[in-house]
Amino acid sequence: MEFNKKITCSLAQRGIGIENAGHVKVCNLSTHIFKDANGDPYRIDQTNLRDIWNNNVTRKEINDSLDKGERHENCQLCWDAVLINSAIALAKKPILMATSFKNAVIAGRQSFLAGRMKKSFNASASSPESGLI
């Protein structure tokens, strides 16, 4: 999704998030963890915080995208949450809209649990043929 305006996020500019395993990210909603020049993930218990802070490749990428009004894949969760929040908050009937999102999530999960039919290249009748007038 692309927008035609500059977007700023204070966490993208100055934030640091820590995962349970000690990996470091720009914020706790980020999907990308910071890595060193060898591609190894930084761990807060093994790396000097200044070294982590000065590794701004991921941070720069994210901020460059935001400056261009583009959605960086690192921020997918956050943007989805903002869009859903706006859809609910700005709806004419917010509670009804929130309920519809809830029902959509339940429907998706139920259809996943129900399982898909097997692939078939031939059509076959699935309606009962007995007991009809």
Q: Does residue 1 contact residue 71 with C-beta atoms inside 8 Å?
A: yes
Q: Are 57 and 67 in contact (CB under 8 A)?
A: no
**According to CB under 6 A, which residues from 69 to 88 bind ligand SF4?**
74-75, 78
Site for ligand SF4 contains 65 (CB under 6 A) = no
Measure the CA–CA gap between 17 and 53, rounded to whole angstroms. 11
Residue 33 or 74 with smaller CB distance to ligand SF4: 74
Q: Does 30 bind ligand SF4 (CB under 6 A)?
A: yes
Give the shortest CB-44-to-ligand SF4 separation in angstroms: 17
DSSP string, 60-112: HHHHHHHHTTB--GGGHHHHHHHHHHHHHHTSSSHHHHHHHHHHHHHHHHHHH
18 near ligand SF4 (CB under 6 A): no
- Shortest distance in whole angstroms from residue 122 CB to ligand SF4: 48
Q: Does 27 bind ligand SF4 (CB under 6 A)?
A: yes
Residue matched to tokens 């990308």: 32
In whole angstroms, the minimum distance from the beta carbon of 46 to ligand SF4 comes to 23
